Structure 1
Amino acid sequence: MSVFTRSRAGKVFGGIAVAGASALILAGCAGGGGGESTSEPSEPMDELTLKVGTALPQTGNLAFLGPPEEAGVAYAASQINEVSEETGLTIDVVYGDSGDTDNKAYETEIPRLLGEDVSAIIGAASSGVSLQFIDQVTGAGVIQFSPANTSDAFTTYDDNGLYFRTAPSDVLQGEVLGNLIAEDGNQTLGMIVLNDSYGTGLAKYVTEAFEAAGGEVVAAPTYNTGDTSFDAQISEVLAADPDAIALITFEEITTILPSLFGQFPADKMYFVDGNLSNFGDEFPEGSLTGSKGTLPGLTIDSIADFTGGLDEFVAAEGMDPLEEYSYAAESFDAVVLLALASLAAGSTDASAIAEKLIEVSGGSGDGEKCSNYAECADIIVGGGVADYDGISGPITFDEVGDPTEASIGIYEYGDDNTYAAYAG
């Protein structure tokens, strides 16, 4: 796939936009297939039991992301434990709820997880929620690893070298979305924006990209987590008569949309990762036809082997079938990377694992490419250096725990109010 620098970012090719930021080249490369184990490690190392916790949204305004993220974690753990006799490493997962900044589930869940003596906590999905407990986690000497945080605030955050994420910064998604809206021929843009680090940060980068392309943002009212009425924001945006509307929200979208139906054309509405959902019969047929949205990661269609295997795993475990797959791959990769780093360090100490996370992601540049846990673990057990290319992409952490390679998928809604990769 072609690679474009910042000035040309946002071009759409079969549902994947390739974005560049600063000196980074972000390529829409293929991920690690279906995540199935294809080889088994040889000689075991010292036995390790790695305990990780999850603080993912079981409740709150991102609760629709909880099932795919937790399923991704469980699927990875099952594959790691399948080869534990060969590697010497077993993983134990303690599940917890992050909630949101309204119900504040994290206030009791994070102390509970830390009390379980975990080496790492996977979560939260929401950047705003992660910022509520990052000091508590990293201050306790525990790794915080998010599969879905996209706020640029984490790039420069003082986290003691203990924060990592498999989702790219919103510098990228904002650039892709802003350029997409402009390329669709829109000259003016209205936005409804969640007032937290995710919402305002993403809105900033959408604005910069759209204005750089010659457009004008004519209204961008915000709302707060826990708000239940959005009449004022909707009225302000509609009064500005924009060509397009970008909805930078979480689950509040289900309350906002009915007020826009009939007042604004669906094919001029744009979604983001925080609200891109398969709504189905939640809304009348055809309500969203032509609407588009962005989601960090390779397109769902391109990782069908992985999602198929995940569906089989979920069914075998007696879990409810998944309706969404957002950030499932990133959650899967987070667990695999933590396990590989622990194996490489020969330790479950969080600081030792953190020191190896860049290495096993390929950030040190001297590892052997591998695409599943068993294959990578075999390299490590054999005395080599593994470079894991994940389901969500190559990942490759930089010195602050941000992935230096990533893709932004672009999707379009059909008549059934579900989304598929945008054909361009």
Structure 2
Amino acid sequence: MPSKKALGLTAAVAALALGLSACGGGGESGGGEGGEADALRFGYIFPETGDLSHLGPPQISAAKYALHEINEAGGVLGQEVPEILTGDEANDAAQANDAADRLLGQDVDAVLGAAASGMTMAVIDRITGAEVVQCSGSNTSPDLSTYEDGGYYFRTAPSDLLQGPILGQKVVDDGHQSVAVVYRADDYGQGLAEATATALEENGAEVVLNEGYDPNSTNFTSVVQQVAGSGADAAVLVSFEEGVQIITGLIEEGFSPEQMYSADGLNNEGLGELVNADDPGAIAGFQGTAPGVDNEQFTTALTEFDSELEVFQYAPQVYDCAIVIALAAEAAESTDPTVFVEQMTAVTQGDTQCSGFAECRDLLAEGQSIDYQGASGPLDFDENGDVTVASFMIYGFDEEGTHQALEYVESKP
């Protein structure tokens, strides 16, 4: 099967040969030769409401900060990037589709998001089918690696095929040998659960339970009972906010938080208060993994840009999405997504390493090929638009229920 990027190259060449502008992006001139490029127009689809709304603020702020940095450096191809257009995915497919339609109706050239893998699955055909570049900083489902997107979809968050081994290794390193895995039965949950279960078994642990559940259920007693009755000495919960009910139930069944693990879906600074508002420390010992990088310089800069921001999950990855898109447009000398899509991978794999939009843009102007080093680490997009190197944070909660970054681990395929 041809690679997604090969398909994207074919689409770009065909568009150039026919002299077409982007379908749903780029405006009339499309940045073609002999005319001034239209301004590069971004939109986002992030969770402003819904049960993943805690992921919204860091991603929105990171997107706005990236555009601010780009404009401070003179914009893309000498033109200021307009204010980003907004869309709320709300962890609801219908709302996510409405947001995508509104953005496409406003002729965006690139869409940042969606945040949840399932929401991207809901909108990817609309966005990439319109030959608009889509880049998510938080999608992790393995299914997106080989999805037929014409070469227009990229992500700066690592696939769960990279996260699963980190999570599985952590559980075994803590001395657990009999593990129950329960997961939300969707694109995110199933992929990460499978990768984690495989890693557990490869490290000598027995997976005594590996079951999905309906994430839209209002009662998770049966899930709790399955785990409690499995005889496991540890439980991995691949959950979003519904995992709070599972954690609470397991504690009532005698499970210690030190026996529980999760991933990015429960990487929430307020998890202790959600589990027990009167005693957030009841969650002490609970641990998990999430894509994360130890980049204090970026965190400080983003905090100066948005002083009210307290959560930073996926902020570096979203920032990198926007910067790579802008650099691809600079490299292609066009804001037409059917043209600059060809440069998305190239600007992460060139000869000269650089960081930040201004430095990399100036190197491109000198005729050099660039290897953008992101706020989230080296990206090195592969033929599927996936990063090939990723950093993960192992997080936990202390006796007061305070979220902590315990360590950072690098994973490679």
Q: How many residues align?
A: 368
Does the aligned pair in 1 maintain the 2:70–2:76 contact within 8 Å? Answer: no
Partner secondary structure for residue 94 of structure 1: coil
> Are 2:239 and 1:249 equivalent residues in the alignment?
yes
Q: 1:306: how far off? A: 1.1
> Are 2:265 and 1:274 equivalent residues in the alignment?
yes
Partner secondary structure for residue 371 of structure 2: strand
Partner secondary structure for residue 203 of structure 1: helix
One-letter amino acid matched to 2:225: S
Matches within 5 A, 1:86-101: 88-92=78-82, 93-101=84-92
> Are 2:222 and 1:232 equivalent residues in the alignment?
yes
CA distance in 1, matches of 2:373, 2:256: 40
Consecutive aligned runs of 4 or more in structure 1 exceeding 6 Å deviation: none
Q: 1:61: how far off? A: 2.8
Per-residue deviation, residues 156-190 of structure 1 (Å, max 9, x unmatched): 11110101000111011111111111111111111
CA distance in 2, matches of 1:85, 1:233: 51
Partner secondary structure for residue 39 of structure 2: strand
Matches within 5 A, 1:101-120: 101=92, 104-120=94-110
Does the aligned pair in 2 maintain the 1:192–1:234 contact within 8 Å? Answer: no
Corresponding residue number in structure 1 for 2:366 = 382
One-letter amino acid matched to 2:138: A
Q: 1:256: how far off? A: 2.6
Does the aligned pair in 2 maintain the 1:48–1:90 contact within 8 Å? Answer: no
Per-residue deviation, residues 201-227 of structure 1 (Å, max 9, x unmatched): 100011101011111112233222322
The unaligned stretches of length 5 or more in structure 2 are 1-34, 409-413
2:205 pairs with one of 198, 215, 230: 215
Partner secondary structure for residue 287 of structure 1: helix
Superposed CA RMSD in Å reads 1.8
> Are 2:291 and 1:296 equivalent residues in the alignment?
yes
Per-residue deviation, residues 291-310 of structure 1 (Å, max 9, x unmatched): 21101132xxx212211111
Q: Which has the higher contact order (CA 8 A, sep 6+)?
A: 1
The unaligned stretches of length 5 or more in structure 1 are 1-44, 316-320
TM-score, reference length from structure 1: 0.83
> Are 2:319 and 1:332 equivalent residues in the alignment?
yes
Corresponding residue number in structure 2 for 1:369 = 353
Does the aligned pair in 2 maintain the 1:87–1:378 contact within 8 Å? Answer: no
CA distance in 1, matches of 2:229, 2:129: 47
> Are 2:389 and 1:405 equivalent residues in the alignment?
yes
CA distance in 2, matches of 1:176, 1:77: 33
Describe the shift of the 1:323–1:252 C-alpha distance in structure 2 as closer, same or farther (beyond 3 A): farther
CA distance in 2, matches of 1:47, 1:159: 25
Corresponding residue number in structure 1 for 2:14 = none
Q: 1:368: how far off? A: 1.4
Corresponding residue number in structure 2 for 1:30 = none
Partner secondary structure for residue 90 of structure 1: coil
Q: 1:423: how far off? A: 5.2
1:206 pairs with one of 191, 196, 218: 196
Percentage of identical aligned residues:
39
